[in-house]
A = this chain, B = another copy of it.
């Protein structure tokens, strides 16, 4: 789309489409459709979205306690008086925190690691928010740390490392159960999951 809306310089429709195409969920084709949709709804959607992006970008903060992303520091979770402060759920990324909080409804506290240990990518313990987690776990209020890293090799390696680091703090360390996803059919499952589910079988 060269001639019909400029050469893609700043402030052109083409430049907007190229930025929209970097938003996950939108490819080059849907970015074009999105741009057109927005251009037709300038007052009702495009300008409010521009303002919301600008305002949020300017005032968003990383929580200095749990590393959640929020508009305040400490974040709403860490300052919420209704939360169970005896449990800290450890997750890899902020998105995992949001999922645990919104989907699962876990109402304890959280700690975002900011990734996983990865020999391949050269990510060591000093690159993750582990030291701070250990400090938090030493607070006598805290009784349990729940490791909710991903069920990947790196996620599980990280969980084991953290469990070890927490071993002399006196808190109970637990991890998410592995097993058959609820509603999952056995013959569609990978053998790793099936093996884990068998190993963790329970009396009925």
The residues of A with any CB-CB pair to B shorter than 8 Å are 1, 3-6, 10-13, 15-16, 19-20, 22-26, 30-34, 36-40, 42, 45-57, 59-60, 68-71, 75-77, 80, 82-83, 94-95, 97-98, 101-102
Contacts and interface: CB of A to CB of B under 8 A. Distances in A.
A57 B47 contact: yes
A112 to B, nearest CB: 11
Contact of A24 (B34, B42, B70): B34
Given A1-B101, A20-B49, 20 more contacts: A3-B77, A3-B80, A3-B83, A3-B101, A4-B76, A4-B102, A10-B52, A10-B55, A11-B52, A11-B55, A11-B56, A13-B71, A19-B45, A23-B49, A24-B37, A25-B31, A32-B98, A39-B57, A47-B54, A54-B54
Given A94-B36, A101-B1, A15 B77 contact: no
Given A70-B4, A75-B5, A76-B6, A23 B16 contact: no
